[in-house]
Amino acid sequence: MLALSIFPLIFSLGLTFTNVNLFRRTPIRFVGLENWARIFSDEALLETLVNTVIFVGGGVAIQYALGLALAVALNQGLREQRLMRVLFLLPMMVSPIAVGFIIGRMVFSEGFGPINDMLQALGLPAVAWVTSPGVAKWTIILVDTWQWTPLMMLLILVGLQGIPGEPIQAARVDGASEWRIFRHIVFPLLLPVSITAILIRALEAFKIIDIIRVVTGGGPGRATESVTAYVYNVGAKQGDLAYAASAAYVLLFVVIGVSFLALYVMRRVQARYE
């Protein structure tokens, strides 16, 4: 575990102080803080960072809300519950490559996609899913939400199984409404699991790249390009591995900062209930 985690970390950190380039045959030398200085004047990096934060903030919030609702709905002992739990898990098992191509590209296609076709059949205007900078961000969030809400549902379902039944039954005997029981007993007990689910999902969402590359290619302009996509373009396409590693480190710092902040806030919320 230590080897798997520390070697890549140090290796990439070392890269950031060099001029390693895949395509140029210049001798490798140390350039000190040159790459790091470039970071601060890089407007493209800033724009992709803002995009990434929008994807993570918007996407994970929607996924948590929907996942929580689904998990609670599928934990009430409905007759079809067991079948529905498995069926609702399916989207996260579909290969992201297929999700990007078949759903992102075909279903949301502005030319031959069924969504615009159905909207127009209902007399509504077609939506510019990938060609409008504002809408394209939402298309990415929608596709991401379709695929990953099931993971939220799964983790919250796991958490629901560990909640003791006595306080809920006692509250029910006292005549508390279902909403009050959820709000004051179930939800607080779900907080630790919620923190884990949100953190897991957010960490993966910060690295979002596949859907973007397939569905919008980062466009229009840079409207949907994430930091990881930017790192990939700089590193793999332009060959500038050293600068790509530096940009990746910027993302790492942002993620660590956001995680600390999020954990702190969530622990405070949790403490209020204890």
What residues between 19 and 48 interact with another protein by CB under 8 A? none
The correct pick among 17, 64, 129, 249 for binding another protein (CB under 8 A) is 249
Judge whether 251 and 46 are in contact, CB under 8 Å: no
Q: Given candidates 28, 50, 65, 73, which one binds another protein under the rule CB under 8 A?
A: 73
Cα gap 81→86, rounded to integer Å: 9
- Assess 174 for contact with another protein (CB under 8 A): no
164-178: b or e for each residue (b if 16 or more CB lie within 10 Å)?
eeeebeebeeeebee
> Closer CB to another protein, residue 36 or residue 133?
36
User: For 183, which DSSP code?
Assistant: I
Q: Does 273 bind another protein (CB under 8 A)?
A: no
Contact 104, 139 (CB under 8 A): yes
CA gap 235, 12 in Å, rounded: 12
* Piece of the chain touching another protein by CB under 8 A; list 41-49, 73-81, 132-140, 217-225: 73-81
In whole angstroms, how close is the CB of 199 to another protein at the nearest point? Answer: 6
Beta strands in 135-204 (DSSP E): none
* Binding residues for another protein restricted to 223-242, rule: CB under 8 A: 227-228, 231-232, 235-236, 241
| Neighbouring C-alpha atoms within 13 Å toward the C-beta of 21 | 12
Residue 152, SS3?
Answer: helix
Number of residues located near another protein, criterion CB under 8 A: 84
87 or 124, CB closer to another protein?
Answer: 87
- Is 217 a binding residue for another protein by CB under 8 A? The answer is no
Nearest to 232 by CA among 240, 221, 223, 220: 240
**117-156 mask for another protein (x: CB under 8 A)?**
x----------------------------x----x--xx-
The closest of 6, 26, 89 to 241, measured between CA atoms, is 26
Please name the amino acid found at residue 53.
V
Span of 28-36, 43-51, 124-132, 205-213 interacting with another protein by CB under 8 A: 205-213
Return d(Cα 232, Cα 212) in angstroms, integer: 12
- Of 95, 124, 237, 265, the one binding another protein (CB under 8 A) is 95
Pick the binder of another protein from 24, 101, 261, 264 (CB under 8 A).
Answer: 101
Beta carbon nearer to another protein, 133 or 141: 141
109 or 133, CB closer to another protein? 109
Among the listed residues 37, 50, 158, 269, the single contact to another protein using CB under 8 A: 158
Stretch that binds another protein, among 53-61, 65-73, 129-137, 217-225 (CB under 8 A): 65-73
Give the shortest CB-159-to-another protein separation in angstroms: 7
Taking 3-state DSSP, the helix, strand and coil percentages for the chain, each rounded to the nearest 5, stand at 75, 0, 25
List Cα–Cα distances, 229 to 34, 36, 50, in angstroms.
22, 19, 13
Nearer to another protein, 133 or 252 (CB): 252
